[in-house]
């Protein structure tokens, strides 16, 4: 038997340490939380994707009384980007969240497994790594790719 450790590379930034384009992306994700429809969980999530053409698209979680029918912010954003700009890759993604208590989440938000898998497919389609910024109140985690957010990912193509 051998043991193997799989590490996730994370850089921790403050908002002010980010480059201007990334600060803009974080701002867009934070703004998108305001367009969330989350009457059930009251957990409002915003996602912003900067495309390879510089365009920024956003999404927020949209819940539904038929619970499984709702969609996370990350998938709203990536499916919107995929349907509006089908042949444009993703450059970077930022995710932000506001908790039921009303303030921004303390620890950087952790996207769910389904969103990681969905985003991974768009990373593959992009043909290059997509940087990920997970936003918290004080700290912002930067991961170099979606793949690094989903080690041992299922890939079929
Ligand atoms: N949610 C997201 O939008 N993104 C995540 O990364 C985690 C969870 C949403 C789904 C649901 O509307 C609410 O947050 C509570 O789980």
Whether 78 is in a domain gets the answer yes
Q: Give me the residues paired with residue 135 across strands.
A: 140
Residue 148: pLDDT over 60: yes
- Structural domains of the chain, count: 1
Q: Is 119 in the pocket of ligand 1 (CB under 6 A)?
A: no
HSE toward the beta carbon, residue 107, CA cutoff 13 A:
2
Q: DSSP code of 144?
A: S
141 has a pLDDT exceeding 60: yes
Domain carrying residue 87: 19-149
Does some domain include residue 12?
no
Q: What are the pLDDT digits (tens) for 42-65?
A: 999 999 999 999 999 999 999 999
What are the helix (H) ranges across 1-141?
20-33, 73-84, 113-126
Q: Evaluate whether residue 25 is within a structural domain.
A: yes
Residue 131 falls inside a structural domain = yes
What is the residue-averaged pLDDT of the chain?
97
Q: What angle do CA 27, 139, 107 make, to 5 degrees?
A: 100
pLDDT, average across residues 85-100: 97
Q: Is residue 103 domain-resident?
A: yes
Question: Does residue 155 carry a pLDDT above 90?
Answer: no
77: Cβ below 6 Å to ligand 1?
A: no
Residue 9 lies in a domain: no
Tokens of 31: 């703004």
Q: Give the mean model confidence (pLDDT) for residues 74-91.
A: 97
Residue 57 β-bridge partners: 49
78 lines ligand 1 (CB under 6 A): no
**CATH code assigned at 83:** 3.40.140.10
Catalytic residues: 74
Average pLDDT over residues 58-73: 98
pLDDT digits (tens, 9 = 90+) for 94-129: 999 999 999 999 999 999 999 999 999 999 999 999
Say if 7 falls within a structural domain: no
Measured in whole angstroms, the distance separating CA 136 from the mean position of its chain's CA atoms is: 12
| Strand-pair partners of 44 | 98
Banded pLDDT at 157 (limits 50, 70, 90) = low
Mutate to test the pocket of ligand 1, among 97, 119, 135 (most ligand atoms within 8 A of CB): 97
- Split at pLDDT 50, 70, 90, the class of 9 is very high
Q: What is the mean pLDDT of residues 57-82?
A: 98
Q: Are strands 90-98 and 11-13 parallel, antiparallel or unpaired?
A: unpaired
* SS3 of residue 97 by DSSP: strand
Q: For residue 131, name the pLDDT band (cuts at 50, 70, 90).
A: very high
Give the pLDDT confidence score for residue 64 in this predicted structure. Answer: 98
């Amino acid at each position: 038997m051998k043991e193997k450790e799989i590490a996730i590379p994370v850089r921790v930034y403050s908002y002010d340490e980010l480059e201007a384009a990334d600060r803009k992306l974080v701002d867009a994700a934070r703004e998108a939380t305001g367009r969330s429809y989350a009457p059930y969980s009251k957990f409002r999530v915003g996602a912003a994707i900067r495309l390879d053409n510089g365009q920024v698209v956003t999404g927020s979680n949209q819940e539904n009384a038929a619970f499984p029918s709702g969609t996370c912010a990350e998938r709203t954003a990536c499916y919107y980007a995929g349907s509006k700009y089908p042949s444009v890759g993703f450059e970077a993604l930022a995710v932000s969240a506001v908790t039921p208590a009303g303030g921004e989440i303390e620890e950087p938000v952790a996207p769910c497994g389904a969103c990681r898998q969905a985003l991974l497919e768009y990373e593959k389609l992009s043909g290059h790594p997509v940087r990920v910024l997970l936003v918290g109140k004080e700290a912002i985690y930067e991961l170099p790719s979606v793949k690094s957010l989903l080690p041992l990912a299922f890939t079929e193509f």
